[in-house]
Structure 1
Amino acid sequence: MPVLSIFYGIIVRMYREQGGKHNMPHIHAEYSGEEIVVALDGTVLEGSFPKNKLKLLEAWIVIHHEDLEANWKLLSNGEQFFRIDPLK
């Protein structure tokens, strides 16, 4: 699964999921063994994260929403994704 960004120990991934179980644009994130799936609108679809790390991830999603949508379209079309700047 392509890694889009890494910040504060959070690894953010996105992959082509044609016909997948979530049926909406989303990311997968991992932190210290915890995994979460979050829609691009911020809705948690699966899993959980420590509250402070979830807030960081949510802020990053808001800041990079357009980049995330662009990557979703690229990956859905079988094209190459691009990395997104980490939260600073």
Structure 2
Amino acid sequence: MPTVSRFFGIVVFLNYRDHAPPHFHARYGEDEVIVEIRGGAVTGKMSKRALRLVLEWASLHEDDLMRNWDLARASEPLEQIEPLT
């Protein structure tokens, strides 16, 4: 699973040739969520604090995430995205 960012113990990744709608995965410890890039719908479970950080990061990097989604669908190398600081 190609990792595109890491911050505060959260790992964000996209899978190559994954199913629509455009989304990314975020893992924190044993918890994992799937977040739609446009709209922010969330499935899975994660602590409220960690999920808040993931959603804040995603809102700052929506264009970067969509670019990586397109690269992943084309089986191209993904770009690293700046972590939340």
Sort the TM-score into its range (normalised by shorter chain): over 0.9
The 2-side partners of 1:2 and 1:70 are apart by: 14
Q: 1:17: how far off?
A: 3.3
* 1:2 maps to amino acid: P
Which of 46, 49, 52 is the matching residue for 1:49? 46
Q: How many residues align?
A: 84
Gaps of 5+ in 1: none
Structure-to-structure mapping, 1:33-72, within 5 angstroms: 33-40=30-37, 41-44=39-42, 46-72=43-69
Structure-to-structure mapping, 1:26-37, within 5 angstroms: 26-37=23-34
Percent identity of the aligned residues?
A: 37
Gaps of 5+ in 2: none
TM-score, normalization: structure 2?
A: 0.93
What residue number does 2:12 align with?
A: 12
Q: Which ranges of 4 or more aligned residues in structure 1 deviate by more than 3 Å? A: none
The 1-side partners of 2:28 and 2:75 are apart by: 27
The 2-side partners of 1:80 and 1:11 are apart by: 17
TM-score, normalization: structure 1?
A: 0.90
* 1:53 maps to amino acid: A
Q: 1:78: how far off?
A: 1.4
SS of corresponding position for 2:49: helix
